[in-house]
Amino acid sequence: MSGKNFTDKKLSIEKLDLIANEIRQDIIKMLEEAGSGHSAGPLGLADILTALYFDIMKHDPKNTEWEERDMFLLSNGHCVPVQYATMAKAGYFDSKELLTLRKFKSRLQGHPERDYLPGLENTSGPLGCGLSQAAGIALAMRMNKDSHRWVYVMMGDGELNEGNVWEAVMFTAKYKLSQVIAFIDRNNIQIDGTTEHVMPLEDLRAKWESFGWHVIEIDGNDIEAVIDACAMARAIVEKPVVIIAHTVPGKGVDYMEYDFHWHGIPVGIADVAGAPPKNEQAKEALKDLRTLRGKIKNEGSN
């Protein structure tokens, strides 16, 4: 099969920032319509997925089985609204379909289901499976002598509580699967509170290094830093790479940022301390995003 590299035409960082902000607005609209789903994580990941889909990865929205494509796996599948919104923006499907999130017979399930939507590379299943899936794909690529392709996998930091993650960490390092580039969304929250309260993870960098991985640590809400980190990761040989990406949960929405209560709920259904009334939550979130939290005066819709 032939394919066209979507990222052949590079966009400016300023344009990528605008795309990420539009993706965040779509996430709010999707979650409000669905009446269920996760808010904080998807908002925090918009910059990384924008960088991947619009700059870093080789992929073709019109040819989802292109044999030369890079692959993206979402292990923390509850964050899938950000992947759907990014894929729609990149042209995989019409953005009108975003409002079917979590609805009966929708292709946009609450966790990614690869058989439903072309362009999804994995079904996330229980937390902790994504790195194993990535390792298996990378091993198959090696066997097929596909040395020019990359497997990007996103994991949540709370997900690292799962023991099977560390089995995959050992496997990937043992076989030197350097085509695996793993991200950890280090936003420091999970459904029951902060990660360091629920199950401490630090020293996270030292843990991964002790397992034989090359570790890069970045601001995950800085698109240029994400692009540079992936370029560095692709230059590392004989080791898999993990990028610890420090992100702001609820990024861009003032009343959500850093608040773990928004990990697993959408706008419009819950009373959360410090948040607007339920019927005003989506409106206030979109106002924050459209005005970059008051930095610009134009409050028109995108």
Q: Decide: 110 and 30 in contact? Cβ < 8 Å.
A: no
Q: What is the pLDDT of residue 196?
A: 95
The model's pLDDT over 27-85, given as tens digits with 9 standing for 90+, comes to 999 999 999 999 999 999 999 999 999 999 999 999 999 999 999 999 999 999 999 99
At 136, which CATH number?
Answer: 3.40.50.970
Supply the DSSP symbol for 276: P
Q: What angle do CA 262, 227, 243 make, to 5 degrees?
A: 60
The total number of structural domains in the chain stands at 1
Q: Specify the length of the chain in residues.
A: 302
- String of DSSP letters for 232-269: HHHT--SS-EEEEEE--TTTT-TTTTT-GGGSS--TTS
The count of other CB atoms within 10 Å of the CB of residue 36 is 12
Q: What is the pLDDT of residue 109?
A: 95
Domain that holds residue 190: 6-290
How far apart, in whole angstroms, are the C-alpha atoms of residue 296 and residue 196? 36
Q: What is the pLDDT of residue 295?
A: 72
Q: What is the pLDDT of residue 299?
A: 46
Residue 1 lies in a domain: no
How far apart, in whole angstroms, are the C-alpha atoms of residue 248 and residue 253? 10
pTM confidence score? 0.94
Q: What SS3 class is residue 74?
A: strand
Q: What is the pLDDT of residue 33?
A: 96
Q: What is the pLDDT of residue 300?
A: 46
Q: Decide: 181 and 241 in contact? Cβ < 8 Å.
A: yes
Per residue of the chain (302 residues), give pLDDT as tens: 445 566 666 899 999 999 999 999 999 999 999 999 999 999 999 999 999 999 999 999 999 999 999 999 999 999 999 999 999 999 999 999 999 999 999 999 999 999 999 999 999 988 999 999 999 999 999 999 998 999 999 999 999 999 999 999 999 999 999 999 999 999 999 999 999 999 999 999 999 999 999 999 999 999 999 999 999 999 999 999 999 999 999 999 999 999 999 999 999 998 999 999 999 999 999 999 999 866 765 544 44
Q: What is the pLDDT of residue 1?
A: 41
